[in-house]
Structure 1
């Protein structure tokens, strides 16, 4: 396997992981505990925001690596 194809595979993996983290954050934001926290404070919980940010960063890096070569 050449280095260009290895980078593409890593990019695809990061795309999938990023989408998975964002989906997990979305599902967590719909939980009862998170909705109560959101109703009281008016913002998402730290865990949900961490999952959204990590998912977005992973997705963008994966997309860059996939398109780069």
Structure 2
């Protein structure tokens, strides 16, 4: 594996882990109450989801479109 593919794979795995933590955080009592009252999740949960999504997409792109 080339360095770019290894970095892409690491970013993809990191993104999936962050998305999992974001999902777990969204199921907590604090987020459930915040979502019920304001219609939005807490900032920490949103950071997990955004960072996880961006990391997973960049990692997938690096794997798919990297130099072969």
What is the TM-score normalised by the length of structure 1? 0.89
In the alignment, what sits opposite 1:9? 6
Structure 2 unmatched runs, 5+:
none
The answer to whether structure 1 residue 65 and structure 2 residue 54 are counterparts is no
2:31 maps to 1:34: yes
Give the aligned length: 66
Q: Which runs of 4+ in 1 moved over 6 A?
A: none
Shift of 1:45: 1.0
